[in-house]
Structure 1
Amino acid sequence: MSATAISTSGSLLSGKPLRAVAAVILIVNGLFPALWILLTSFKTEAELTLKPITWLPHAPTLQNYMQAFADQPLLIFLFNSFMVALLSTALTLLISVLAAYALARLNLRFRGLIMSLIIAVSTFPLVTLLVPLFETMRALDLLNTWTALILPYTVLSLPVCTLVLTSFFEGIPRDLENAAMIDGCTRFGALFRVVVPLSAPGVFTAGILAFVNSWDEFLLALSFNSNPALRTLPVGIQLYQGEFAFPWPVISAALVVGIVPVAVLIVIFQERVVSGLTAGGLKG
């Protein structure tokens, strides 16, 4: 193939039409499932079984939302999920800030090996960790408690949060910390008064990632908790299905209720999260 042909094909692959197609595919793949769930939540059971499929609800109804709250303690599920996600996120940020600072600032002998291990650990499938985690929680008598979920969620979120924060901390000039310590700050004081505030986009990004990871998790929440009063939202939603019935409109309404808090959180902190992801990628 000639150099001209290679150059032409390269320009086509990087051209605007291809980027537009890729953007459309990403938007459809990301938005269509959520939009379909939202539309289904306003349909009746009868309309959902019509053929051909109706895209928009003919007679929108809020009955599914009322039934979702009436059939199951949805507010309790939301509260449990929120508290578990919030506490695990706070613990994750505290530990990952300290770990990232050590990796970014201290002259660790095996820093490269530690970073490689962090990346390797983050690739472990969750199902392979289920039995060891369950046995650990049972030995510690933590089953059917929030702690049984908070601790594993923290461990699962630590690798990615540590990597994100390490990238940010490396971009903070050491002179700022030295100046703070000359003024009387300890190293911990310089960390939390200088480094962390200057890395706010990275901290917000790590926090959002940890929160969403905890909010959406299903397998551990199902395995470690059999107490109905402590069920989280993902586990609670699967209780809507019966032995011979699968009420999709009601389930869709419950899903919408579960999606809204995370969506609102991301919208509020959208700029910080985007800047955190892009800046972290550039620094890394």
Structure 2
Amino acid sequence: MNKKAGLGFYIFLGIFVFVIMFPFIWVFLTSIKPLDEIYYSFAWFTTDPSLNSYVSALTTRPLMTYMANSIIVSSLTTIIAIAVASMAAYALTRLPIKFKGTILGLVLASAMFPPIAIISPIFNLINDLGLRNSYPGLIIPYMTISMPLAVWILSTFFKKIPFELEESAKLDGASPFQTYRKIIFPLAAPGIFTTAILVFIAAWNEYLFALTINTQDSARTIPVGISMYQSQYTVPWGDITAATVIVTIPIVVLVLIFQRRIVAGLTSGSVKE
């Protein structure tokens, strides 16, 4: 009975993984098909794999420029958001501040606004500051998306750290900032790292602000850049799927390299001693 249950579990797990991975598998298989097989016939696998779509994706549009813009904007957004959110979360969870729950509730509520509802005032702000088609012009609105979520997630991690450690640091004469920098921040590193990955991916995939604020081709990010591959009369699915595969590689590599830290952050505090 146990063997049957184990076999059933692995069959279910295999089906689940296949369903989750199917869109990515299909995109890759399409990217290596010749154009006539993409548009005029249907087959799961091609008998004549080709890299022409990858060459076209890299030469038709400045894909590497889009990737560089996304990497810079996402990285700077993550660094600034984590630095500010971690200090805010520390203050809201470890310091004697009144109405902590109300403040955290308001922080979470601010993350509930759909981007389309705030795009107009943010666009006017960025335009008045003269920051359109620049990195700060995207980092500022991205902060409005990432900061509330980062503060809320980090607050849950900071609450799990024993208060006795902080009290011992106070007895040794440490200031609140020293306690945060030397004790709380290192102990919450797994959670901070997981939050940073989530913020980075959210900034990497953001489309609406990038489409509205950065209209020059040299300032576009990957989601907007890929959408520009289509023309008035045709949709070059080969180029689009090839570009999708290329720009997905950095995220996959990032997750694979730091998967242990991500899992450690997701499971931090889940087991009580």
TM-score higher than 0.5: yes
Alignment deviations for residues 234-273 of structure 1 (CA, whole Å, 9 cap, x no partner): 1111121111111101110101111111111111111221
**Distance in 2 of aligned mates of 1:132 and 1:252:** 34
8 Å CA contact 1:167–1:280 kept in 2: the answer is no
What 5-or-longer segments of structure 2 have no aligned partner? none
Alignment deviations for residues 6-42 of structure 1 (CA, whole Å, 9 cap, x no partner): xxxxxxxxx9899778756653443111111111111
**Distance in 2 of aligned mates of 1:109 and 1:149:** 34
Within the alignment, does 1:84 sit opposite 2:62 as a pair? no
Moved more, 174-183 or 243-252: 174-183
Change (3 A) 1:167 1:22: farther
Within the alignment, does 1:58 sit opposite 2:47 as a pair? yes
Q: 1:166 aligns with which of 155, 169, 189?
A: 155
Which residue matches 2:26? 36
Which residue matches 1:112? 101
- The 5 A counterparts of 1:38-187 are 38-51=28-41, 53-187=42-176
SS of the residue 1:240 aligns to: coil
Displacement of 1:107 in angstroms is 2.4
Within the alignment, does 1:190 sit opposite 2:179 as a pair? yes
8 Å CA contact 1:221–1:231 kept in 2: the answer is yes
8 Å CA contact 2:93–2:100 kept in 1: the answer is no
Residue type at the aligned position of 2:210: A
Alignment deviations for residues 125-174 of structure 1 (CA, whole Å, 9 cap, x no partner): 11111111111111222111111110111220112211221111111122
Which residue matches 1:211? 200
**Distance in 2 of aligned mates of 1:128 and 1:36:** 34
SS of the residue 1:279 aligns to: coil
Q: 2:190 aligns with which of 191, 201, 204?
A: 201
What 5-or-longer segments of structure 1 have no aligned partner? 1-14
Displacement of 1:60 in angstroms is 1.2
Moved more, 88-97 or 59-68: 59-68
8 Å CA contact 1:164–1:280 kept in 2: the answer is no
**Distance in 1 of aligned mates of 2:254 and 2:149:** 19
Identity of aligned residues (%): 37
Residue type at the aligned position of 2:130: D
RMSD between superposed Cα atoms in Å = 2.2
Residue type at the aligned position of 1:113: T
Q: Under a length normalisation based on structure 1, what TM-score does the superposition of the two structures give?
A: 0.87
Displacement of 1:54 in angstroms is 0.9
Displacement of 1:83 in angstroms is 0.2
Moved more, 166-175 or 23-32: 23-32
Q: Under a length normalisation based on structure 2, what TM-score does the superposition of the two structures give?
A: 0.90
**Distance in 2 of aligned mates of 1:113 and 1:129:** 23
SS of the residue 1:208 aligns to: helix
Which residue matches 1:27? 17
Q: What count of residue pairs does the alignment treat as equivalent?
A: 268
**Distance in 2 of aligned mates of 1:96 and 1:64:** 42
